[in-house]
Structure 1
Amino acid sequence: MKKNIFFLILLGILINACSTKSNEGLYNLTASEWYQQIIKDLQDKDLEKADEHYNGMASEHIASPLLETTLIILAQAHIDEEEYQLAEFYLDEYNKKFGSSRNADYIRYLKIKAKFDAFAVPNRNQALMLESQKEIGAFLQDYPYTEYEPLVQTMLTKFNLAVFYLNDTIRDLYNRTGRIESADVYQQKLQESEFYKQNIIKPELPWYRSVFEKF
């Protein structure tokens, strides 16, 4: 009887120990082990775990060179999943830890690209458009000879075109509602645009979105 009780107690201790161990978070890993775990998380499409394991890696290895690569990988992973605010967080972290004159234009470019990729529905992102236009203008002024200049110029053109069509939509709304003075303000904006009187095919929304996107 005593042996059975002893056996049950021992079994309970072992089960509890195994359960506790399985529920513990990772800790005290080498930088390389953390890095491999984060890569595995990304392969498993588990960005939440990847973020959690980055925190562990950053707290245990604050000076590891592997952090540089990890931050860029995580930023790109969040961009791919359309989680642009988290992507900007990692890019800001990269800039704080590893930013230099050597890669400053690259980080600025990635942040602009994150905003550009977030720009899916123009009529819902007017503030994003205007902010991005300013950021691109500042970027081109700060880095006139950057290798990313053609890419950001293309982004800027698309933002400018989106603003042009948004202004055209607003002008049309004011005309239809009899607010002629306001319509004239937007007509002036259209005339100052590089796209005014150009033969450009206006993009059309699918029928299931046009109902909601038109003013």
Structure 2
Amino acid sequence: MRRIVTMALAGAVAALLLGGCGSKSEQEFEKPALYWYQKMMKAVASGNLEKADNIFTSLESEHISSPLIPQAMMILAQAHMDEEEYLLAQFYMDEYMKRYGSFQNRVLAEFMKIKAAFYGLHSPQRDQKLIDDTLVRARNYIVKYPTSEFTPMVQTIETRLAMTRYILNEKIAQLYERRDKPEAAKIYRARNAEGWVKKDDIEPPESGWFSWLFE
């Protein structure tokens, strides 16, 4: 009886080992770059971006010098942007610019990063630093690439953010006035006076900050 139990346990262990080896052998590796790229594209097309990210990791780790990598990065950045996953989109843009930061590549990559940051805004009150940082990026872009095909879109983003910052400064000034701190209120109104946006240029939203910003 003891021998039968021992044999049964040995058989179970062997089955587990064989099963483990079988699943491991099914893992894919050492595939051509085009194979990974096409598989990633299928995952993007099906909307499975988590799978696409994992496949890109395989492409990158097995073919670090492949000319398909920069194109794959751009595709994943745009795909994550389309899904409103703006932090992931910016991650791919940052990596793209680190590796492939030629002048022509940066024109597009920096535009996409500004666009991702802009659409990543959810609440002007909470995202004030992101607004200020994106304003700086947008203004720098306009100066660096005045003839870029993307510059008019960046100018629109810059205008929207400048108006949003003006309204926020005015709201903060009003809050300080209600708390009997007129000197603090003057600081924020002085900031508005220094900018090119004027009060008459803006029709403040009654509600729905988020939708107003993107209309």
TM-score between the two structures when normalised by the length of structure 2? 0.82
CA distance in 2, matches of 1:98, 1:132: 22
Q: How many residues align?
A: 200
Q: How far does the alpha carbon of each residue in 1:93-131 deviate from its partner, in whole angstroms, 9 at most, with x for none?
A: 222333322222111111111111112211111101111
* Equivalent of 2:184 in 159, 167, 182: 182
Which residue is 2:193 aligned to?
191
Which residue is 2:22 aligned to?
18
CA distance in 2, matches of 1:188, 1:155: 23
CA distance in 2, matches of 1:46, 1:114: 20
CA distance in 2, matches of 1:158, 1:196: 13
* Equivalent of 2:148 in 146, 149, 161: 146
* Equivalent of 2:38 in 31, 36, 39: 36
| Paired letter, 2:22 | C
| Paired letter, 2:158 | L
* Equivalent of 2:119 in 110, 117, 120: 117
How much is the aligned-residue C-alpha RMSD, in angstroms? 2.6
Which residue is 1:212 aligned to?
none
* Equivalent of 2:94 in 69, 92, 97: 92
CA distance in 2, matches of 1:205, 1:44: 36
Pick closer, same or farther for the CA change 1:134–1:60 going to 2, 3 Å.
Answer: same
Q: How far does the alpha carbon of each residue in 1:122-159 deviate from its partner, in whole angstroms, 9 at most, with x for none?
A: 11111011111111121122222222111100000001
User: Which runs of 5 or more residues in structure 1 are unaligned?
Assistant: 210-215
CA distance in 2, matches of 1:155, 1:20: 49
8 Å contact kept, 2:163–2:202: no
CA distance in 1, matches of 2:197, 2:97: 36
| Paired letter, 2:106 | A
Which residue is 2:213 aligned to?
none
Pick closer, same or farther for the CA change 1:19–1:101 going to 2, 3 Å.
Answer: closer
Pick closer, same or farther for the CA change 1:199–1:144 going to 2, 3 Å.
Answer: closer
Provide the identity percentage: 36
1:203 matched to 2:201: no
Q: CA deviation at 1:45?
A: 2.7
Q: CA deviation at 1:199?
A: 5.1
Q: CA deviation at 1:53?
A: 1.4
Pick closer, same or farther for the CA change 1:66–1:155 going to 2, 3 Å.
Answer: same
Q: CA deviation at 1:163?
A: 0.2
Runs of 4+ in structure 1 displaced over 6 angstroms? none
CA distance in 2, matches of 1:54, 1:175: 54
Q: CA deviation at 1:164?
A: 0.5
Q: How far does the alpha carbon of each residue in 1:148-177 deviate from its partner, in whole angstroms, 9 at most, with x for none?
A: 111100000001011001001101101111
Q: Equivalent residue of 1:198, what SS?
A: helix
Q: CA deviation at 1:87?
A: 1.4
